[in-house]
Structure 1
Amino acid sequence: MNIKHTTISCPHCGHSMHVELDFSGGDQDYYDECANCCESIHLNMHINVLAHKLELSVSADDEQLY
């Protein structure tokens, strides 16, 4: 199991929260809940093999792409 600890900011209230990213299973797309405001947070994790980087995007559940 490969785990990385990082800190993110809630896109709704700005509260800082610690998350554990398990990158042993490859790319992941999941939701978590802010401990402060209880809103849903969308996390999308991508493993960039060529650059040897773990890329994480954090967004609000209600954001829409056009």
Structure 2
Amino acid sequence: RAGVNDAAQRLLGQIRSEFEFRPVIELLDALPEHMEEVQAVCSAASDAIRQRYFPTSAVPVWIGETS
């Protein structure tokens, strides 16, 4: 497959490949930094999914019930 046009899938694939082929000792030596990177990529992927499937710039407005 040549290229991925889904932003979330591309982001997650990049981080997965980066970690999959990196030596384990290298990952463990800087584990907190790598986990921050994973968290940032997951957040970016979540945003990409939201933008793709729920494309809106409107802020949700909640209407409370009246008793």
Which bracket does the TM-score occupy, shorter chain normalised?
under 0.3
Structure with more relative contact order (C-alpha pairs < 8 Å, separation 6 or more)? 2
Which structure has the bigger radius of gyration? Answer: 2
Say which structure is richer in helix.
Answer: 2
Give the TM-score normalised by the residue count of structure 2: 0.22
